[in-house]
Structure 1
């Protein structure tokens, strides 16, 4: 049995925004203000935007790579940049290399595997690949498929970022996250992650989200001082098929059980809590797992867990899509899917840490942040599903999260 990981939970308060707006206005949300409380340790309001952007990278389930790609966040290079460039030029990364290089290699490989299989599954759409680089160190790759045969929109992005945590962010990590960081000023950091969201055309087929990430605080010589992992995956159906929910959760639970029998239970509950839309009183979907700040003296155990769960995305989702992609549906079912997508948009803009803080970060890659959004969504005034309908059955589950796998 792997050594248990130490967990430290985060508590955040989130503001609300109006929920009735045309989809055409969503891209203007860069100006959406953040009312999140700044740490009392932050010396001056000039640090708040930098702090929010950095916290999105370290704790968000959204597209953290898109937030970290801004040049406004750092003024110095991480000492590990040149060493890592030299090492990568020498040949393939091995198990003896630093964790940051191994995580980078893993998410790049995972991105390619997911993109290739989803593109083959779609049969018509092709992913557009966009790359970017940061002068301070790091790179990103964003792959987006639009208007395919199966998927209305699918995006898979990775990021590898080197930079400097400003003093305000260091103090905030000490205070709110309990990180033992001893430094008088800024400290070098490394962050890497993979994020994806997929929105199928067919309302019988569910939307899916996945994100796994690694964050490292460096010593002055470029060796790691502190590090932790985070991530998760969750399913958002428009129509509830219990066998799909069981399959998705069972696939995740089987991976968790390889490391600790409590992980699935803990991470499932964390996921249900995080993805609950407070202003609607309902969950975004039927959940999955979510975890943050996973660290352990044996980093190999943690990294093995991350790889296990990342590799489980395709077997957790593809069989569901294969089963649902060609099912018949009505115009009314499509309208319901659009309404559920509206809820998805509301959560991402109102509560998701990565999206919210990213939009508030100067210089952020807005297109990459909003990659999570569906192409189309709908808001109907005072819409209520008919009693005892399939739509009402879904809402009942969303209001009271269900345990899809027996927990003993």
Structure 2
């Protein structure tokens, strides 16, 4: 088979066009009542969470979301580990359900508006990715939590372009154990001293896509919101945003990395000129595989415990990042999805997928926490893993093309001027 071909530059591609009538936001009826999307604004108190970031990262891997009216009907599924019989919906979850039925406004709690944004974004992304694939369809599985919250996992397998692609959103209400609350207090003194568990809320959207073609990169993003101490539907004591995006190529095309970083930098710069530089380094550090001495990919941004501005400002920042995803990734896929490749390229891709699995199962906080959480839906947690991967004993890359990738994985590069 022919080897690599160099198509035209990404700069010649037009920006991703807006979706057709399918992109009109829909009112989505869920098993818990109506859900209204398309709002902005916030009223919440200031605070943050550090040591419970693993808990909130679960929201990025245990997935859920809204459906388009054109999408398949969601299949109701159960969590692998059912909750205890004494569990019941939280008061805040009950109050929020009534708010959804009445309709959201700019004055609605941030938790509901972030949930609305996540579900709306998931619907837009899955519609566009189905269009890009041209053959594959997302399977839609809906799940619910007794304590409050819900989720829909949307996964495509064995499509024409994508070997596996998953986009999900989760909404979780629960009680945070006293030990976890005490750990949070070390960095967030606004949390009062108490030996009692505290109510928490978390919602997040997560996306991972693994293409068939080794010239096309794997991509990941998640954006999440967490709050602590909102009793009976009231204001939280602490809150924060987290998230990020990163690109994982098997074969390095520098223009792809530049494009991916440029688009997310533009989103960051709209809100704070420091964000891209700081979050780019954070991403390089987070997605490091110590036992391999290399990064998972060519990076992007990563941030956590973000509460340095007013809630509305940070919500706007997270929205900008989430809305940038299709412009970050679709032009790259349109360039790479049909490129010719060799058997050696495919073998190399499978070996790189092995590294991806190693990071997710050994180091990723969200995956580790999710696997240890009673009542978690394991299929959603492991949604991020590729359909196929490979490990070989003492393998060394033979082609100069592959070694170029290894150079940047071992020594992160600044893809655009900081």
User: TM class by shorter-chain length?
Assistant: 0.7 to 0.9
Residues matched between the structures, number: 357
Once the two structures are superposed, the pairs formed by residues 206-355 of structure 1 within 5 Å of their partners are 206-223=217-234, 224-296=236-308, 298-355=310-367
Output the aligned Cα RMSD: 2.4
Post-superposition offset of 1:74:
9.3
Tell me the residue number matched to 1:180: 190
Partners of 1:266 and 1:9 in 2: how far apart? 19
Aligned equivalent of 1:153: 164
Change (3 A) 1:234 1:162: same
1:198 equivalenced with 2:196 (yes/no): no
> Do residues 125 (structure 1) and 136 (structure 2) align?
yes
Alignment correspondent of 2:117: 106
Equivalent position SS for 2:191: coil
Q: Could you say if the C-alpha distance between residues 73 and 160 of structure 1 is closer, same or farther in structure 2, counting changes exceeding 3 Å?
A: farther
Instruction: Name the CA distance, whole Å, in 2 between partners of 1:74 and 1:289.
Output: 41
Asked if 2 retains the 8 angstrom alpha-carbon contact of 1:63 and 1:368, the reply is yes
Structure 1 distance, partners of 2:240, 2:260, is 26
The C-alpha deviation readout for 1:59-110, integer Å capped at 9, x for no partner, is 469515589997369956433212211111123x221211111011100100
Q: SS where residue 383 of structure 1 aligns?
A: coil
Residue 335 of structure 1, CA deviation: 0.2
**1:299-321 Cα distance to aligned partner (Å, 9 max, x none):** 10010001000000110000000
User: What is the deviation of 1:180?
Assistant: 3.0
**SS, match of residue 81 in structure 1:** helix
Q: Identify which range, 73-82 or 210-219, moves more after superposition.
A: 73-82
Q: What is the CA–CA distance in structure 2 between the aligned matches of 1:198 and 1:261, rounded to whole Å?
A: 29
Asked if structure 1 preserves the Cα contact closer than 8 Å seen for 2:60 and 2:205, the reply is no
Deviations 1:156-184 (A, max 9, x none): 01001111112122112223x44532133
Question: SS in structure 2 opposite 1:214?
Answer: strand
Structure 2: how far apart are the matches of 1:406 and 1:9? Answer: 32
Q: Deviations over 1:122-161 (max 9, x none)?
A: 0000000000111111100100000000000000010011
Query: Equivalents in 2 of 1:99, 1:135: separation in Å?
Result: 22
Q: Is the 8 A contact 2:162 2:211 kept in 1?
A: yes
- State the alpha-carbon separation in 2 of the partners of residues 270 and 291 from structure 1: 7
Of Structure 1 and Structure 2, which has the larger fraction of its residues in helix? 1
Comparing 290-299 with 333-342, which one deviates more in the overlay? 290-299
**Take 2:327 and 2:278, find their aligned partners in 1: how far apart are those partners?**
22
CA distance in 2: counterparts of 1:144 and 1:108, whole angstroms: 15
The alignment partner of 2:237 has SS state of strand
Tell me, yes or no, if the aligned pair for 1:151 and 1:198 is still in contact at 8 Å: yes
Q: Structure 2 unaligned runs (5+)?
A: 1-45, 65-78
1:405–1:60 distance in 2 versus 1, CA, 3 Å: farther
Residues 77 and 188 in structure 1, CA contact (< 8 A), matched pair in contact too: no
Partner Cα distance (2:119, 2:135) in 1: 23
Q: C-alpha separation between the residues in 2 aligned to 1:391 and 1:130?
A: 38
Q: Distance in 2 between matches of 1:98 and 1:8?
A: 16
Q: Does 1:56 find its partner at 2:54?
A: yes
More divergent stretch after superposition (133-142 vs 163-172): 163-172
Find the counterpart in structure 2 of residue 401 from structure 1.
Answer: 412
Equivalence for 2:21:
none
